[in-house]
Amino acid sequence: MDLTVVDPPVRHTAVPAPRAHWQRLLADAVRDPIELCRLVGIDPAAAGPTGGFPLLVPRGFVARMRHGDPQDPLLRQVLPAVAEGQPVPGFTADPLGEGQAVAAPGLVRKYQGRALLLLTGGCAVNCRYCFRREFPYADHGAAGFPGAALEVIAADPTLQEVILSGGDPLLVDDQRLATVVEALDAIPHLRRLRIHTRLPVVLPERVTDGLLAVLGATRLTGVLVLHANHAAELDDSVATAARRLAATGTLLLNQAVLLAGVNDRVATLAALSERLLAIGVLPYYLHLLDRVRGAAHFEVGEARARDLLRGLQESLSGYAVPRLVREVPGERSKLWIHPAPAPTVGAPGSPLTSG
């Protein structure tokens, strides 16, 4: 009799990869408005209901807020306000009509020569003014590998640039991001890869060696558009992240949103531009608010915005002045808003009038 002992077959089970440091920090982000109020030392009554758009903010970003100040400009961007629940005419769930511009699952096409690839519906911070706060990501395939979208991109030689967006595209891990970038890199008519992200600002730990390797390996010209609205967001950790990103040869730009009570003063906007330039980021766009439902209390009127732009032009070098823009559904590009006219020299009320 053969008494040879045969070992049972080994059953391999998938072992989840250990989470990166930035992913652990994100898992520990603040999600309770009452806890956020406690951390910044303000009355919990300052928080309004979330209204189906949950609070989410990394603790490192919370640490940059002024303790005891309910009007802190960073806090105002993330803390739910009672005003969010008040309906305002003209403010809708899809203010830019993006639902009509979906060309394939996860692919939005609005402008000539470029397309927007939505890699995820998630972000590292839920900004209360976000124009996609009600975007139905699940209905439009903004999850998983964007195979169908890549096929559409590959079949259209008029496309020269792909913009990775979301949510926040850097919320996906380095391995998945590398797979998407490699697929785009293999499409010969593409020239540029643009990434719109808030993560290096709110969670600078996301700028990993793996991410830098992905950005440095592609043949595509890289453009990374950060999103900071106030100079206080840009601490030393963000400066370090920006400089590491720039070392890959990636062009760094910033887009901000003009927000009442956050950055609607010339001095505040000028300080933002100065800080951006100090860390190697060029001010790019200053957006008028997209009129998404729940964000009306952030709106700054166009006339006031024009005055602010004029003030910036008088205060800063030309390259430090962002373009003031509004996005309008159906338009073939963003609309540039011009500054208020300068006072006529010698006219009554002019600072150069003698008296």
How distant, in Å, are the alpha carbons of 188, 202, 257 from that of 79?
44, 15, 17
Q: Flag whether 6 is in a domain.
A: no
324, β-bridge pairs: 286
Whole-angstrom Cα distance, residue 186 to residue 308? 44
Q: How confident is the model at residue 14 (pLDDT cuts 50, 70, 90)?
A: very low
Q: Flag whether 355 is in a domain.
A: no
How distant, in Å, are the alpha carbons of 78, 202, 234, 318, 323 from that of 270?
22, 21, 14, 12, 13
In the predicted model, is pLDDT for residue 61 greater than 60?
yes
Claim to verify: residue 128 and residue 228 sit in the same structural domain: yes
Whole-angstrom Cα distance, residue 119 to residue 147? 11
Query: What is the model's pLDDT at position 134?
Result: 85
Average model confidence (pLDDT) across the chain: 90
Read off the pLDDT of residues 283-292 as tens digits, 9 standing for 90 and up.
999 999 999 9
Claim to verify: residue 168 and residue 70 sit in the same structural domain: no
Claim to verify: residue 47 and residue 174 sit in the same structural domain: no
Domain CATH number, residue 164: 3.20.20.70
Query: What is the model's pLDDT at position 141?
Result: 57
Read off the pLDDT of residues 138-192 as tens digits, 9 standing for 90 and up.
665 556 678 899 999 999 999 999 999 989 999 999 999 999 999 999 999 999 9
Q: How confident is the model at residue 346 (pLDDT cuts 50, 70, 90)?
A: low
Read off the pLDDT of residues 99-143 as tens digits, 9 standing for 90 and up.
777 888 889 998 999 999 999 999 999 999 998 888 777 665 556
Claim to verify: residue 117 and residue 246 sit in the same structural domain: yes
Q: Flag whether 344 is in a domain.
A: no
At which of 62, 85, 108 does a domain end? 85
Query: What is the model's pLDDT at position 60?
Result: 98
Q: Flag whether 327 is in a domain.
A: yes
Mean pLDDT value of segment 191-199:
98
Claim to verify: residue 102 and residue 81 sit in the same structural domain: no
Residues contacting 10, CB < 8 A, separation 6+:
none
Q: Flag whether 92 is in a domain.
A: no
Claim to verify: residue 36 and residue 73 sit in the same structural domain: yes
Read off the pLDDT of residues 32-60 as tens digits, 9 standing for 90 and up.
999 999 999 999 999 999 998 999 999 99
At which of 37, 56, 85 does a domain end? 85
Claim to verify: residue 122 and residue 269 sit in the same structural domain: yes
Query: What is the model's pLDDT at position 1?
Result: 38
Claim to verify: residue 45 and residue 157 sit in the same structural domain: no
> Distance between terminal CA atoms of the chain?
120
Read off the pLDDT of residues 235-269 as tens digits, 9 standing for 90 and up.
999 999 999 999 999 999 999 999 999 999 999 99
Q: Flag whether 134 is in a domain.
A: yes
Q: Which long-range contacts (CB under 8 A, 24 or more apart) does 153-158 make?
A: 153/107, 153/115, 153/117, 153/184, 153/187, 153/190, 154/187, 157/189, 158/112, 158/113
Query: What is the model's pLDDT at position 144?
Result: 65
80 exposure class (CB count in 10 Å sphere: 0-12, 13-18, 19+) = buried
Claim to verify: residue 111 and residue 207 sit in the same structural domain: yes
Claim to verify: residue 146 and residue 292 sit in the same structural domain: yes
Q: Flag whether 76 is in a domain.
A: yes
Q: Flag whether 63 is in a domain.
A: yes
Claim to verify: residue 132 and residue 218 sit in the same structural domain: yes
Structural domain of 108:
98-336
User: How many domains does the chain contain in total?
Assistant: 2
Claim to verify: residue 59 and residue 143 sit in the same structural domain: no
